[in-house]
Structure 1
Amino acid sequence: MRRRPLLLTALATLPCPAFAQTARAWAPPTRMIIGYGAGNITDQVARVLLDVIGQRHGWRTAAENLPGAGGMLGANNLIRAPADGSVCGVVAAAALTILPHIQRNPRFDPFPDLQAVTGLAISSSFLAVNAALPVRSLADLVAYARSRPADSPVFYYSPGNATVPHLNLEALSRGLDFPMQHVPYRTSAAGNTDLLANRVQVTMDSFSITLPHIQSGVLRPLAFNGTERHPLLPEVPTMAEAAPGIQLMNAWMAVFFPKATPATTVDRAAADILDAVRSPAFAEKLPIGTSPFALGPAELADRVRSEGARIGRLIADIGLTPD
């Protein structure tokens, strides 16, 4: 009569068969989804990470480019991937903090759908003007723009509505209460051509686009939207120095897992990635104009939440409507 309980007790001590285990033992992700085309700055940063983390921690993770819809296609594929740590993705800030506010039916929400892992890299930009403009500081630009007649305003360009340069220059003009007229272009190259010809006067486009023309003297930098002055142009003040209290955004990119990925997997991956991001090799290999962005899971989630809320308010204030 006692044999059955003893048998059950003995069976309970045996290892569970492999097919009954639901948790995936720790191993680096085998696939990294990059929602941008090959050669895009986010793609470049992701591949620097894979190179460095492969050398430091033995990751053998295959990169998979899924470009489309400003990074939303890749993010949408990531949220449908297995939540077992086998698939991660690199997503840029705009797909998380801007696009959900300007799409009528957003494909995902960053918080219910994605698990923050770590920051990777951040790109800062210069506020610059055509050197023919009679201004040498942000204060000069504010005064000059206010002095212009309504039919001859100061024009600024961006590579499209609701891009980072557009939103930053709108936030700046509204925060300091001075008028500028937005001219959206389909590409940065087209806008920059008109900037160099002085058909538009102001930009906050990407570092790699403006720096060569600043160095040649065609553009004049007024402020740098970074936490510290840039070593190449140490005489140019930061935006915080030139306009205290004005909050602008930077283009950044970060690593995410599908939302239900186990916390132990997230923490282990974050530790490896942060070690790589903080290494000298990572900083040395980053594209020009980018720097390491070492945020852990909680810090990254807070950044997405606070920045997304602030940008949502700005978009509503500007009056941009969902597509």
Structure 2
Amino acid sequence: MASASRRLVLVGAASLAAPRLAFAQAGWPSKPVRLVVPYGAGNLADHVARVLAEDLQQRWNQRVVADNQPGAGGAIGVQQIARAAPDGYTLGLVAMAALVITPHMTRAPYDPLRDLTPVAGVTVSSGALTLRSDLGITTLPDFVAAARARPANDPFFYYSAGNGTVPHLNFEILRRGLDFPAQHVPYRTSPAGLADLLAGRVQATMDSFSVVQPAIQTGELRAVVATPRRRMPELPDAPSIAEVAPQVEFAHAWQAVLGPAGLPREITARIAADTKAALAVPAFATRMPAGAGLFDLGPEALAEQMRRDHARFGALVAELGLRSE
């Protein structure tokens, strides 16, 4: 009888605890929410986070504070998200590289598939194979032919903002898919690489459209092919990769909201629904940088995207033998 009574007490306590937990979640948020941005000010994810924070702040009637925590390719900020209490008061706006590329290149202090809760996709940025206009190359087949024709000691050089960045991997995906030679030149920042592209020290890049757009508009650079599967409105004369080389599948540089592992389903669903509503406001898209589109994914779809990209880019990083410096 004593053990039976004890079981009744435990069941009773559990039944009382469940409503209290549900009530606490229903009252969320009751204080400011921290939105960790694992990058410096001015980064695309930083821009997206601040626009999203403004909208969610109005929906939640609580402050949503974008908190920049840069370093180690995003790993420092992601670690803070992973180690936070799973109560919905610490979230993050994270770019895909820190989740599905960086962990394969270094010993990241988190497991992105185990230590985080996928909540909502937000945006995706597009890139383009961009060349110096004075090369006189206007199509992807012409570029491939020109690259193959160059002597081995004088290849095409292309820049990215570092080993393992999305522009670096996308150029390698293109190079391997179409079988042409080119030499990677990693820079610490995109502006440094762009300066050398404009000066003629390198000849090509797959950088984000927002980086190369001004020089395309002045005619100094030419976009030969865009990374999305559909033609970009900002580049009406540049075909999408699906039009000219459908066998090539580029990486899509998405940004998403995540929380720590164990984030309650009710809070996850609330944040996901409110993020989706924010993306539906026309003004949200108009405030995004050139080449950035909406990436409207719910928790389950985002989790599946992370799993696929984690496996795919893990294999590519291993093939290329990439390690963080």
Unaligned runs of 5+ in 1: none
Answering whether residue 95 of structure 2 is matched by residue 92 of structure 1, we say yes
Instruction: Give the TM-score normalised by structure 2.
Output: 0.89
Output the amino acid matched with 1:25: Q
Aligned to 1:40: 43
Aligned to 2:311: 309
Q: Note the 1:8-87 alignment, pairs <5 A.
A: 21-22=20-21, 24-26=24-26, 27-28=28-29, 30-87=33-90
| C-alpha RMSD of matched pairs (Å) | 2.3
| Preserved CA contact (<8 Å) 1:278 1:292 | no
Q: Structure 1 residues 37, 322: CA separation in 2 closer, same or farther (over 3 Å shift)?
A: closer
Q: Note the 1:138-287 alignment, pairs <5 A.
A: 138-287=140-289
Give the count of matched residue pairs: 312
Output the amino acid matched with 1:65: N
SS at match of 2:233: coil
Aligned to 1:132: 134
| Preserved CA contact (<8 Å) 1:98 1:312 | yes
Task: Give 1:322 deviation, angstroms.
Answer: 5.4
Aligned to 2:321: 319
SS at match of 2:180: coil
| Preserved CA contact (<8 Å) 1:121 1:293 | yes
SS at match of 1:179: coil
| Preserved CA contact (<8 Å) 2:197 2:203 | yes
Task: Give 1:21 deviation, angstroms.
Answer: 4.1
Output the amino acid matched with 1:279: V
Instruction: Give the TM-score normalised by structure 1.
Output: 0.90
| Preserved CA contact (<8 Å) 1:32 1:61 | yes
Give the Cα–Cα distance (whole angstroms) in 2 for the partners of residues 228 and 279 of structure 1. 23
Question: For the pair shown, which has the larger CA radius of gyration, 1 or 2?
Answer: 1
Aligned to 1:113: 115
| Preserved CA contact (<8 Å) 1:126 1:221 | yes
| Preserved CA contact (<8 Å) 2:25 2:266 | no
SS at match of 1:156: strand
Q: Structure 1 residues 147, 52: CA separation in 2 closer, same or farther (over 3 Å shift)?
A: same
Answering whether residue 321 of structure 2 is matched by residue 297 of structure 1, we say no
Give the Cα–Cα distance (whole angstroms) in 1 for the partners of residues 300 and 182 of structure 2. 37
SS at match of 2:135: coil
SS at match of 2:99: helix
SS at match of 2:314: helix
| Preserved CA contact (<8 Å) 1:122 1:251 | yes
Task: Give 1:63 deviation, angstroms.
Answer: 2.3
Task: Give 1:311 deviation, angstroms.
Answer: 1.0
SS at match of 2:293: strand
Moved over 6 A (4+): none
